[in-house]
Amino acid sequence: VCIGVKASNYFMPKETLSEKGPGGGGWILMDMTLAVMDRDDNIWSTDEKGHARIYAIGDCNAGGIPGPSPDKDVGKWPIPPI
């Protein structure tokens, strides 16, 4: 039984963490490819070609992705549902 959740992302810059959410926020912001994003929905830490270089790993799910709801067909999601 999972009684509570808390983000342990103290090592990440504040601009890459949510301000709200379970446990008071502090969750890594990411896009559908798991690339880390900032609070302005920009990919954080890109190379000279604009490609993401830092990705979230671990307990990631589509609930942590800002923006409109994903396609109803879960087969089209880059991140599979839990």
Per-residue pLDDT reduced to its tens digit, 15-60: 999 888 777 788 889 988 889 999 999 999 999 999 999 998 877 7
Average pLDDT over residues 72-81: 72
pLDDT of residue 1: 57
DSSP state of 35: B
Of 42, 11, 9, 43, whose CA–CA distance to 28 is shortest?
Answer: 9
pLDDT of residue 26: 84
Q: Is the whole-model pTM more than 0.85?
A: no
